[in-house]
A and B are shown apart, each in its own frame.
Chain A
Amino acid sequence: MEDKTIICRCEDVTLEEIRKAIAEGARTLDEIKRLKRCGMGPCQGRTCRPLIAGEIARMTGQNPAELALPTFRPPVVPLKLGTLARGGVPDEQA
């Protein structure tokens, strides 16, 4: 893959930035997420997380299956504050 490849589409983070973070000492998905914001976008890392895990594993010689995963935080899909304010009832039914 090219360094300029965008790994996190939600937050516009390139492979180059991720490689740099790992080269500077980041070893876990948690650390990279907090410094680069990848995984914090609307998809909450469902797209980028496996790619980043693969890169950490490749660069640090760890087993991808053994990398600790950040907590998946609620809500599972992005919800409008207005909908939540009505106790979770979406617009069309309110």
Chain B
Amino acid sequence: MNRHEVIIIGGGVTGCSIAYHLAERGMRDVAVLERAYLTSGATGRCGAGFRHQWGTKTNCLLAKYAIARLEHLAEELDYPEGIEIKQEGYLLLAYTPKMEEQFKKNLALQKSLGIDARWVTPREAREIVPFLNTEGLLGATFCPKDGHANPFKVTDAYARAARRLGVKIHTYTEVRDIKIEGSLKTVITNRGTFQAPVVVNAAGGHAAEIGRMVGVDLPIVPERHQILVTEPVEQVLGPMVMSFYHNLYCQQTPHGSFIMGLGDPNEPKEYNVRSSWQFLTQMARKAVWLLPVLKNVRVVRQWAGVYDMSPDRQPVLGEVPGVPGFYVAAGFSGHGFMIAPMTGQLMAEVILGLPTTLPVDMFSLSRFTTGELFVEPSVV
């Protein structure tokens, strides 16, 4: 029997960030249980982009605080090899008058929160990305401080810092069941039993399964998203190019490879991480149309991961009403990587009963029963 103060289920970027932030605030008797290896879930399969360009105050601030942390994460976590951060902006393309109107509203909001983003004409967009096909483009928004980082390194950096502070990380340890007696939770795994008064569900696309183990119905469903990577070539694309109209994003990593993905609105809601040939053709068509220079770049690998989708595409953060000591940090709906530094900090503050750095009430599970949904207009 392994007794701890806190057990975190899930060794993705969220679980590792929560573990670090708890330990950093003095709560060191923490165990992280991960069914496979760290980053084996969405974290290791993601586009790993981060952007300030959101359409609600909460998300703008969450992103702004989190990105400020990512900018110095290697120093904060004493991770000398670095997290391969790149900040050359996100170019968000607008193709319809409705999009243009929404983007301009978002810009006004961002500006009021001190985020440096601006409207660019198609011609200016071509100055930022010289080979962009601007056919049908009405304009775009650009924030130079958006970018991406290596999700394996970010998670490894949190995991190492957490371990140094005393956190125990158990990989290849799958949670099979949870029993609650009084305030004590017994977590049964394929590698023995763990006990703690506090359990945190950071199981990403599997969060609903973990919820069911304690009789809680979490409205979080897995949705497959496919992505591919090319061979590395010389640096030609500074920013991440994102089109909600085509449902696609494309970026070039510091390593030289291009990473690009598509969202498919018709994707069935199920746990599926197989990749498909259809995706490859569709992705290639759209990418070569938008960025013709990519025509001669070779794809070396494609894969898939799941978004942990919630009904309003916003995470559930906090303690579950009616199950004291059982916390959820899941439902990130495709943007959990970029906010992970703040997810970790806010969850640690909530668990330890400290004042929170940013408001978190709007992320509570109860919003789905009271109907106070949180609507973010700008997601892929």
Contacts and interface: CB of A to CB of B under 8 A. Distances in A.
A1 interface: no
Interface string A58-94: 0000000000000101110011111111011000000
> Is the contact region of chain A dominated by helix, strand, or loop, or is it mixed?
loop
> Which of A71, A81, A84 lies at the interface centre, i.e. has the most chain B CB atoms within 10 A of its CB?
A81
Nearest to B159: A25
Contacts of A84: 280-281, 283-285, 299
Interface string B140-158: 0000000000001100100
B41 interface: no
A94 to B, nearest CB: 11
Interface of B: 36-40, 44, 152-153, 156, 229-231, 255, 275, 277, 280-281, 283-285, 287-289, 294-303
Contacts of A85: 281, 284-285, 287-289, 295
Nearest to A87: B281
B295 A82 contact: yes
B40 A30 contact: yes
A75 B295 contact: no
A34 B11 CA distance: 14
B132 to A, nearest CB: 16
Closest CB pairs A-B (n = 6): A84-B284, A82-B295, A78-B298, A85-B284, A85-B288, A34-B152
A74 B300 contact: no
A28 B36 CA distance: 10
B277 A74 contact: yes
Given A28-B37, A74-B277, A84-B299, A42 B231 contact: yes
Given A42-B231, A81-B287, A84-B281, A74 B275 contact: yes
Contacts of B284: 81-85
Contacts of A88: 281
Interface residues of A, number: 24
Interface centre among A30, A78, A84, A87 (most CB of B within 10 A): A84
A34 B300 contact: no
17 contacts: A37-B255, A42-B300, A73-B301, A73-B303, A74-B280, A74-B302, A75-B300, A78-B298, A79-B298, A81-B284, A81-B297, A81-B298, A84-B281, A85-B284, A85-B285, A87-B281, A88-B281
Contacts of A30: 36-37, 40
Nearest to A30: B37
A60 to B, nearest CB: 14
A79 B299 contact: yes
A3 interface: no
Given A42-B231, A74-B301, 6 more contacts: A34-B39, A42-B298, A75-B300, A81-B287, A82-B294, A85-B289
Nearest to B292: A82
Contact of B294 (A31, A35, A81): A81
A31 B37 contact: yes
Nearest to A32: B37
Contacts of B294: 81-82
A42 B299 CA distance: 9
A40 interface: yes
B81 to A, nearest CB: 9
Contacts of A37: 255
Contacts of B152: 34-35
B295 A80 contact: yes
Contacts of A31: 37-38
Contacts of B231: 42, 78
